[in-house]
Structure 1
Amino acid sequence: MQDVPDEINLVTLNCWGLKYISKLRRERLAEIGRQLAIASPQPHIVALQECWTQEDYQSIRRQTRFILPYAKFYHSGAFGGGLAILSRWPIEASTMHRYPLNGRPTAFWRGDWYVGKGVACARIRYGPAAKHVIEVFNTHTHAPYEGGKPDDSYLCHRTSQSWEVAKLLRGAAERGHLVLAMGDFNMIPMSPEHQLIISLAPVRDVWRVLHPDSSLGPAHHPAEVARRRPVPTAEFNIRENGATSDGPDNTWRWSKAQQKLLGPGKHPVTVSPDTPDPLGKRLDYIFAGAGDIHALGGGWVVKRASVGMMMRHPELGCSLSDHFAVEATLAFHPLPQSQPSPPPPPRESTSNNTTSSNRASTPTATTTLPPPSPKETSNSKTDSALHNGAYLESPTPSLHNAPQSPSPTSQLTSFLHPSPSREAAATLPPSTYTTTILPLITTYTARSHRQKSLRTTHFFLALLASLACLVGVWFTPPGKNYISFILMLISTLGLTAGTIDGLLALLFFRAELNALREFEWEVRNAASLPGGGGGDEGDEGEGRDGDEGGRGW
């Protein structure tokens, strides 16, 4: 085992590596591996999403094997979960936690159900002491295909998935380990899904630790409109708001005409830092705990957070993915002398932790792309006011008087002695459960019941129609064989479609309804705990639906 590090460098990136679908996949992912290998500071833990094929995974592994010798590719569903974790330190154990609610097989063109989305979990040991353990949770939650509108049938899925992530993080933190959740969460800051994670688990959104006044979504989102801020520039969205998706710096968000300017042998095309960026938003996150502060004699604090992987492919000129990476550095900070604690174990800095360069700056413009068209911006403004549900609005301080980032000592103190405001924010009020989450569950449960009934009805109607066609064949006049053929074809195709719907009703929708019942019980139980869901493990809540009282976790 190497010396215990003073800093841990983290990277999370959605690679956009869908086989047969993502353009220039092999070339881009190979370059991602090369950039990780030469990155400064060297990454210690890397979480990848949408790395779907073993070919791409092995390509990245070959190039990073000297700095990230340990890695795990996670298998899930029919086509794999697209998740991988690379580490400088040994991976002692791993598992793939499948989400109970995760898409529908009927939406086969979307694929979320078929890839078996979930949480890739890895237990990583970075030192010899019992608490020198990092538990990493890498995930890619359900995509907001329906725009997050009030009738978004997938909003319940993403809420459930955030709930599952929070439970995993809380359990790992209670074991005294440093917990990290990394990935593409398909949510924007301060949405209910975001609030579930930071409220129900002892973790922080590392970006908001250093940028507490960063945006709550794209410029047209109601939460941002309410703050009365000007449309940010591309540079501001990268540097201050941490926008990893849909910004003008990413070539995969350009129009086809603009993309034709790129390619081998063509002049480099860059984006002016002053380009308006009304659509850029943060979908990729790193959530981090502090570790067992008393056992370690200190804890892990956020030192640096930046948007990374913004470089272009050296030959093709395109961005390396349709997302940018989130990079962060956690630094170990000892407890202040006034805090009684066991003496901290000896720690030595590793040689590759002496730098903390920021790779988030935007490229200098040589050829400036035009800003988004008025039509594109106006279409964005017509989006629903509930992009990801109801939002918690923050005060609107001046852009020139942004709040200061907390010091390392104050970060640790906030874990040891939460302030009244932080303590209030650390527990969701019961109204969040009763007015936000439970109505989502009720609405989606009603939808599942309807789908189950409709598909069951279709099965029996198809069965009756098939029998009627067979009877018709019996009475077909001699010499009219083509009528018999048509009736047999209709009988076969109709019964096949009906049988598929019958199996969906019997297996999938029943399983989905059971998952919804479990989710509903956990939410109701958490709401009944003292403080509205933030009680200790030993607290018991009143049971629901005939179940005995039990713990919310």
Structure 2
Amino acid sequence: MASEQPPSSLRILSLNCWGLKFISKLRNERLAEIGNQIAAADPRPDIVGLQECWTQQDYNAIREKTLHFLPYGKFYHSGIFGGGLVILSRWPIEESNMVRYPLNGRPAAFYRGDWFVGKGVACARIRMGPGRRDIAEVFCTHLHAPYETEPHDSYICHRTAQAWEITKLMRGAAERGHLVIGLGDFNMVPLSLAHQIIETHSPVRDVWRILHPESSVGAAKDKVEQLRGVPMPTATFNLTENGATCDSELNSWRWNKAHKRRLAKGENVQIDPAVSDPNAKRLDYIFFSSGRYHNAETKEETAEWELGDVNVGMTMRHPTLHCSLSDHFSVEATLTRSSTAPSNVHLSPLALPERHLPIEVYDQILATTLKYQVRERVQRKLRIGHFFYQLSMSIGCLIGVWWSPYNYVSFVLMLVSSVGLSVGVIDGLMGLLFVGSEIRALKEFEWEIRNARQRALARFGKSSSDTT
């Protein structure tokens, strides 16, 4: 590796594979074909980040297809069922880490699973060459899914806090002077709270908005897009200009029942690319920040990497099943190295300027956090109250057994007592342990936001009395 020359360009691919075991349809066939298509890509990717690749079996299937040009890879383990995150690389992964998010959904929502998979950030330090600066720090993530539309989304607090956590990781990597790549399914639309946090509190940029600054900030049917007054986009326009990776009319998993029935019969259904596409939106992202250096000899600043191009990919269908390879399309980008200084020139990492969001945005985040804390405190009281209610019912049933005239009545009372007490104990533990832990994590997040708000006030020249 030491003799290999550092690359002059870097191709990145990020894809949500939709590989939920027992739930995602045609999982094995689709993920095997995803491996085939990554291998057939032109240009071939140098770094790949996958989300919702839940099983070792699917990871191995993709690795088998891509091992000849992506010889280094890591399947990240997290939570009860795994985090579903994978990083593949052309170059060695020197270090890796799985950073769990402190706020990560609720165990009571077992039918959603976000808490049980232990969502977090898959981190990889990748060495691309022998030099001190030939390092890319890659962060692959899958933020908490939205299950309601904003502002009624009860998980917006979790997603915002998760964006804050990955922002700190990327900012730290940038301060070390490394190339920073953040990618994944962020489950957010452009310019949302989470998006603003990432681009403000770290030096990374959303690659799509660099080249397409006027692209959509939501689905065409959303109020925010209607207020912009843009015409209804076609499916092709959403892919090429808006960067839509989810809910596209061209994705077979979003089709209506009639099209799905035809597909199930083996028909290769074709969709007109000019069809109106009101639901498509961009949830998948690549963020990057070039390592910026100060040349002690020339007093010049050096930004080593620049964005070459970006596109939505993996839009092809399975060759025999004729279905889309995932319910998401990929986002892909090419970075080019703009300058490479000789190794004998001293370059020191450039200090990053501190940036802040508008004060009202911090206030909005704090209001969201406080609202969620009130909700969780009510939930804690209800769950603990439910435990004592079930305990009382259990004791009542056991007492009732003494006077039961029939054995089957005694059996029913014992069954009700056992099941009710078990449910009550689980609910009580959630209220006492989980909710308490969540509230403490919320307080930590709240303190960090208040601290950032205080620094923003100081920078904007407002008095400290405004912080209350």
Q: How would you bin the TM-score normalised by the shorter chain?
A: over 0.9
Are 2:326 and 1:321 aligned?
yes
Deviation at 1:271, TM superposition (A): 2.1
Equivalent residue, structure 2, for 1:310: 315
Are 2:392 and 1:464 aligned?
yes
The answer to whether the Cα contact below 8 Å between 1:430 and 1:532 also exists between their aligned partners in 2 is no
The answer to whether the Cα contact below 8 Å between 1:264 and 1:315 also exists between their aligned partners in 2 is no
What do you get for the CA RMSD once the two structures are aligned? Answer: 2.4
Are 2:298 and 1:293 aligned?
no
Equivalent residue, structure 2, for 1:284: 284
Are 2:105 and 1:103 aligned?
yes
Equivalent residue, structure 2, for 1:397: none
The answer to whether the Cα contact below 8 Å between 1:206 and 1:286 also exists between their aligned partners in 2 is yes
Task: Choose the corresponding residue for 1:438, options 347, 363, 366.
Answer: 366
Equivalent residue, structure 1, for 2:197: 196
Residues 454 and 214 of structure 1, relative CA distance in 2, 3 Å threshold = same
Are 2:54 and 1:52 aligned?
yes
Give the secondary structure class of the aligned counterpart of 1:326: strand
Q: What letter matches 1:159 in structure 2? A: T
Give the secondary structure class of the aligned counterpart of 1:514: helix
Are 2:450 and 1:524 aligned?
yes
The answer to whether the Cα contact below 8 Å between 1:250 and 1:319 also exists between their aligned partners in 2 is yes
Query: Which string of whole-angstrom CA distances, capped at 9 and with x for unpartnered residues, describes residues 232-283 of structure 1?
Result: 01111111000001111111111122023336864x3322221111111100
The answer to whether the Cα contact below 8 Å between 2:83 and 2:118 also exists between their aligned partners in 1 is yes
Give the secondary structure class of the aligned counterpart of 1:490: helix
Give the secondary structure class of the aligned counterpart of 2:428: helix
Distance, in Å, in 2 between the alignment partners of 1:234 and 1:68 is 32
1:384-399 equivalences in 2 (<5 Å): none
Residues 226 and 81 of structure 1, relative CA distance in 2, 3 Å threshold = same
In structure 1, the gaps of 5 or more residues are 336-342, 347-414, 536-540, 546-553
The answer to whether the Cα contact below 8 Å between 1:263 and 1:318 also exists between their aligned partners in 2 is no
Deviation at 1:163, TM superposition (A): 0.7
Equivalent residue, structure 2, for 1:503: 429
The answer to whether the Cα contact below 8 Å between 1:200 and 1:534 also exists between their aligned partners in 2 is no
Deviation at 1:527, TM superposition (A): 0.8
Query: Which string of whole-angstrom CA distances, capped at 9 and with x for unpartnered residues, describes residues 45-75 of structure 1?
Result: 0000000111110000011001100000001
The answer to whether the Cα contact below 8 Å between 2:175 and 2:350 also exists between their aligned partners in 1 is no
Are 2:145 and 1:143 aligned?
yes
Equivalent residue, structure 1, for 2:249: 248
Of residues 525-534 and 508-517 in structure 1, the stretch that sits farther from structure 2 once superposed is 525-534
Give the secondary structure class of the aligned counterpart of 2:338: strand
Equivalent residue, structure 2, for 1:223: 224
The answer to whether the Cα contact below 8 Å between 2:294 and 2:350 also exists between their aligned partners in 1 is no
Equivalent residue, structure 2, for 1:71: 73
Query: Which string of whole-angstrom CA distances, capped at 9 and with x for unpartnered residues, describes residues 63-102 of structure 1?
Result: 1001100000001111001000000000001111111111
Query: Which string of whole-angstrom CA distances, capped at 9 and with x for unpartnered residues, describes residues 116-165 of structure 1?
Result: 111111110111111211111100111101122x2321110111111111
Q: What letter matches 1:97 in structure 2? A: V
Give the secondary structure class of the aligned counterpart of 1:276: coil
Q: What letter matches 1:470 in structure 2? A: L
Deviation at 1:223, TM superposition (A): 1.9
Distance, in Å, in 2 between the alignment partners of 1:299 and 1:223 is 36
Residues 29 and 174 of structure 1, relative CA distance in 2, 3 Å threshold = same
Give the secondary structure class of the aligned counterpart of 1:226: helix
Give the secondary structure class of the aligned counterpart of 1:50: strand
**TM-score for both structures, normalised by structure 2:** 0.92
Task: Choose the corresponding residue for 1:126, options 116, 125, 128.
Answer: 128
Q: Which runs of 4+ in 1 moved over 6 A?
A: 415-418, 532-535
Equivalent residue, structure 1, for 2:119: 117
Q: What letter matches 1:456 in structure 2? A: I
Distance, in Å, in 1 between the alignment partners of 2:199 and 2:457 is 16
Of residues 110-119 and 219-228 in structure 1, the stretch that sits farther from structure 2 once superposed is 219-228
Equivalent residue, structure 2, for 1:407: none
Deviation at 1:334, TM superposition (A): 2.6
Query: Which string of whole-angstrom CA distances, capped at 9 and with x for unpartnered residues, describes residues 326-373 of structure 1?
Result: 0000111139xxxxxxx4459xxxxxxxxxxxxxxxxxxxxxxxxxxx
The answer to whether the Cα contact below 8 Å between 2:12 and 2:45 also exists between their aligned partners in 1 is yes
The answer to whether the Cα contact below 8 Å between 1:89 and 1:126 also exists between their aligned partners in 2 is yes
**TM-score for both structures, normalised by structure 1:** 0.78
Residues 161 and 179 of structure 1, relative CA distance in 2, 3 Å threshold = same
Query: Which string of whole-angstrom CA distances, capped at 9 and with x for unpartnered residues, describes residues 289-323 of structure 1?
Result: 01133369442111100000011111111111100
Give the secondary structure class of the aligned counterpart of 1:196: helix
Distance, in Å, in 2 between the alignment partners of 1:166 and 1:172 is 10
Give the secondary structure class of the aligned counterpart of 2:228: coil
Q: What letter matches 2:271 in structure 1? A: V
Give the secondary structure class of the aligned counterpart of 1:113: coil
Distance, in Å, in 2 between the alignment partners of 1:175 and 1:222 is 41
Q: What letter matches 1:106 in structure 2? A: A
Distance, in Å, in 2 between the alignment partners of 1:255 and 1:99 is 36
Equivalent residue, structure 1, for 2:83: 81
Distance, in Å, in 2 between the alignment partners of 1:304 and 1:345 is 28
1:483-502 equivalences in 2 (<5 Å): 483-502=409-428
Distance, in Å, in 2 between the alignment partners of 1:313 and 1:532 is 56
Q: What letter matches 1:291 in structure 2? A: G
Task: Choose the corresponding residue for 1:38, options 32, 37, 40.
Answer: 40
Q: What letter matches 2:413 in structure 1? A: L
Give the secondary structure class of the aligned counterpart of 1:229: coil
Identity rate, percent: 57
Distance, in Å, in 1 between the alignment partners of 2:294 and 2:66 is 35
Q: What letter matches 2:393 in structure 1? A: A
The answer to whether the Cα contact below 8 Å between 1:526 and 1:532 also exists between their aligned partners in 2 is no
Equivalent residue, structure 2, for 1:411: none
Equivalent residue, structure 2, for 1:28: 30
In structure 2, the gaps of 5 or more residues are 296-300
Equivalent residue, structure 1, for 2:298: none
Give the secondary structure class of the aligned counterpart of 2:263: coil
Residues 12 and 510 of structure 1, relative CA distance in 2, 3 Å threshold = same
Q: What letter matches 2:273 in structure 1? A: P
Equivalent residue, structure 2, for 1:429: 358
